[in-house]
Amino acid sequence: MDVVNPATGAHVETYDEHDEDDVEKALGRSVQAFEDWRTRPVRDREQLLANAADVLRENKQEYAETMTREMGKPISQAIGEIEKCAWVCDHYAEHASAYLEADHHPSPPGSAVKTEHEPLGPVLAVMPWNFPFLQVFRFAAPYLTAGNVGILKHASNVPGCALAIEEVFEEAGYPDNVFQSLLIPSDLVDDLLTDSRVRAATLTGSGPAGRAVAANAGDQVKKTVLELGGSDPFVVLDDADISAAAETGAWARNLNGGQSCIAAKRFIVHTDVYDEFLNSLTDEIDALIVGDPIDEATDVGPQAREDLMETLHEQVSTSVDAGATLVSGGEPLDREGAFYPPTILTDVTEGCPVDTEETFGPVATVYEVADEEAAIAKANDTQFGLGASIWTQDRDRGERLASQIDAGCVYVNQLVKSDPRVPFGGVKDSGYGRELSEAGIKEFVNRKTVWVE
């Protein structure tokens, strides 16, 4: 696997791929590791996870720099990602025991009935490059602490991150092979999914990849959790705090170079405040600093790969040709690296690429709607359903409208984000199942009913 720095186009490093024989050996090691790991007290597993949080914090600069070199995340955001991984570990180190306690049920006199939560075995995780540490820890922290063992197939452009994560668990004191990273091409994933030793799978990625994993795992009757794409609406109502909405909206669209499933992508604005919001949003976005991701002052770095930038630009160009108005941006920057500027489109034609497809980069579409009913209709006019944000100074109004949006999570007067304390996941083409919180740790356990007479 060749790693190319997307900010410079320079070759960083080459990693040897694992082959079919390596996969076979890794599966054997996982099964062996599971037999011992499943019997470890939850308190012991919690302590090891707390150790992992310490390792992350102690090495956050090193891990962040690896992330920045491989996929271009601005260094300040990369450090923040490592700190969030540590927070996820802290959360489950503190709460896993309570989440996994047996549930007791009503039963006849003289009997006792409970549901225990037992681990399933080796879990395969197919993870993306955009949050190369956080996505993995959202899977690993709960599932390993529940007693499963993990096999990571990471994106091929972040192999250094994959190996660094494996090292985190080693340095934290985890037993050998409880967590393994496999540097394999995508065509070996099917072999893992169909192997009887892999008991469940989770994927964060594109819709086609999710469908393929779901189909293969379903054929083997294996549980899956899928977190797929999104085209999140950012609804600005007539009574919104426009300054706050524009400031947060600019960040919600351009964080991580816009390469986020839960980024604000479609700005749906009430006609009474449309001009004011568009002007404020444009000012906020124009003020963002695009540049070298290793510079702490940089807000927006490069796109993760040249081909991804080209795909994004094709979506923008085709949409402009179809009638959309380009307010700002819209052309790759004339410099080394895969840099695409923050871009705003208005007058978006129904059915054009930026209207119907997920734009995985710093491209915001802004729509004008007549009233809140039209805003909700437009928010729901998508095959995706990951997150949504509503802006209004009337909290009751925001809560009422949140119930009308088809999404896995809706935030009122806040950007959409993942938080280890609450469930995270989508509906419709954005996937199924939940990560994080109690719901996440219970996705890959056997909920065994035990009746004692």
Query: Is 258 found in the same domain as 366?
Result: yes
Which pLDDT score is estimated for 119? 98
On whether the CB atoms of residues 98 and 127 are closer than 8 A, the answer is: no
Query: Is 198 found in the same domain as 86?
Result: yes
Query: Is 60 found in the same domain as 6?
Result: yes
Query: Is 247 found in the same domain as 219?
Result: no
Average pLDDT over residues 8-15: 97
Amino acid at 272: D
Query: Is 380 found in the same domain as 262?
Result: yes
On whether the CB atoms of residues 367 and 354 are closer than 8 A, the answer is: no
Query: Is 237 found in the same domain as 333?
Result: yes
Task: Give me the chain's average pLDDT, please.
Answer: 98
Is 354 contained in some domain?
yes
Rg for the chain (alpha carbons), in Å?
23
The string of pLDDT tens digits covering residues 268-316 is 999 999 999 999 999 999 999 999 999 999 999 999 999 999 999 999 9
**What's the pLDDT band for 129 if we cut at 50, 70, 90?**
very high
The string of pLDDT tens digits covering residues 133-156 is 999 999 999 999 999 999 999 999
Q: Which residues are catalytic, by number?
A: 227, 261
Q: Is the pTM of this model over 0.95?
A: yes
Query: Is 336 found in the same domain as 309?
Result: yes
**What's the pLDDT band for 71 if we cut at 50, 70, 90?**
very high
Query: Is 406 found in the same domain as 388?
Result: yes
- The domain of 165 spans 2-228+428-452
**CATH number of the structural domain spanning residue 209:** 3.40.605.10
Query: Is 67 found in the same domain as 15?
Result: yes
Which pLDDT score is estimated for 438? 98
Query: Is 152 found in the same domain as 137?
Result: yes
Which pLDDT score is estimated for 113? 98
**CATH number of the structural domain spanning residue 373:** 3.40.309.10
Is 418 contained in some domain?
no
Cα torsion angle, 84, 17, 48, 136, sign = positive
Query: Is 123 found in the same domain as 17?
Result: yes
Q: What is the 3-state secondary structure (H, E, C) of 1-60?
A: CEEECCCCCCEEEECCCCCHHHHHHHHHHHHHHHHHHCCCCHHHHHHHHHHHHHHHHHCH
The number of distinct structural domains making up the chain is 2
Which pLDDT score is estimated for 263? 98
Query: Is 196 found in the same domain as 245?
Result: no
Is 422 contained in some domain?
no
Which pLDDT score is estimated for 426? 98
**What's the pLDDT band for 396 if we cut at 50, 70, 90?**
very high
Is 395 contained in some domain?
yes
